[in-house]
Amino acid sequence: MTMKVVAHRGDSARCPENSTIGFETAIAAGADLVETDVRMTRDGVLVCWHDPDLKRVAGVEAAIATSNAAELEALALPSGARLCRLEAILALVRGRVPLMLDVKIDDDAGRAAIIDRVAAAGMIEQVVYGVRSAQHARALIGAGAKFPRLAMPAEPDMLDEFPDDGLVGVRLWEDQISEAAIARIRDRKLGVWVTAGLRKQGEAPGYISTERLQTLRRLGVDAVLVNDVAPAVWIAHASQGE
């Protein structure tokens, strides 16, 4: 089994996170999937952005939820990047690689908008929707969402709360991975996904060393979210008999 490489916010070690150039670079480097975050602006536009505001990345006190999309799109981001709408990223990756959504909003309007955008793009089978709570997962089921879902529990023992319907895998942090945690996921017949990065050591999410990538592969992890795509692809696809 080849461990899949998921480009965390695009090829974010080399390009601005959640940018079109970052996604293009990740695909060119051989990423099996790309991952982006989803939030909603004040005027109901879905955008691909991790933080609740632009302060960390752009030094601007502009909150996503209280700003209109046009206002945010007019702001300059590092390296000439611009805030991306979800529909633009769906169009960029369609037919090339699947897209993982780390959904940062949990309300009826947000869920309905994501369902509509994914369906309009014809990508129901090409999108993996990340859910952080069992309540969110149940709300998606109630809304009739058909795309695959990835459970993202805060702790491994919270997995039991998530319904099976549509669930294809479980995302844990690298520092939560153990043989016992993997066995718990395998007992549910689900894939094991890992976000790289040792949080207690202050590492950025998505950072990982070569040795740790090799360890995850030996443990049988199905997919790993990383910032630096090219070396991860080389390790993930290397011969198991090395």
User: For residue range 22-58, what is the model confidence (pLDDT) as tens digits?
Assistant: 999 999 999 999 999 999 999 999 999 999 999 999 9
Domain boundaries, position 232? 4-34+85-236
What domain count does the chain have? 1
Distances from the Cα of 142 to the Cα of 30, 94, 108, 209, angstroms: 36, 26, 10, 41
Q: Is residue 41 part of a domain?
A: no
With a cut of 90, say whether residue 15 has pLDDT above it.
Answer: yes
Helix axes 229-236, 210-218, angle to 10 degrees: 40
CATH number assigned to the domain comprising residue 200: 3.20.20.190
Spatial separation of the C-alpha atoms in residues 103 and 165, rounded to whole Å: 18
pLDDT value, residue 174 = 98
* Percent of the chain topping pLDDT 70: 98
pLDDT value, residue 207 = 98
Spatial separation of the C-alpha atoms in residues 82 and 77, rounded to whole Å: 6
Torsion of CA 108, 111, 113, 117, to 10 degrees: -160
CB 44 within 8 A of CB 67: no
Q: What is the pLDDT of residues 91-117, one digit of tens each?
A: 999 999 999 999 999 999 999 999 999
Q: Is residue 59 part of a domain?
A: no
Q: What is the pLDDT of residues 180-232, one digit of tens each?
A: 999 999 999 999 999 999 999 999 999 999 999 999 999 999 999 999 999 99
pLDDT value, residue 238 = 80
pLDDT value, residue 242 = 46
Q: Is residue 58 part of a domain?
A: no
Spatial separation of the C-alpha atoms in residues 190 and 186, rounded to whole Å: 6
Q: Is residue 90 part of a domain?
A: yes
Closest by CA to 153, choosing from 141, 145, 162, is: 162
- Rounded to the nearest integer, the mean pLDDT of the chain is 95
Q: Is residue 185 part of a domain?
A: yes
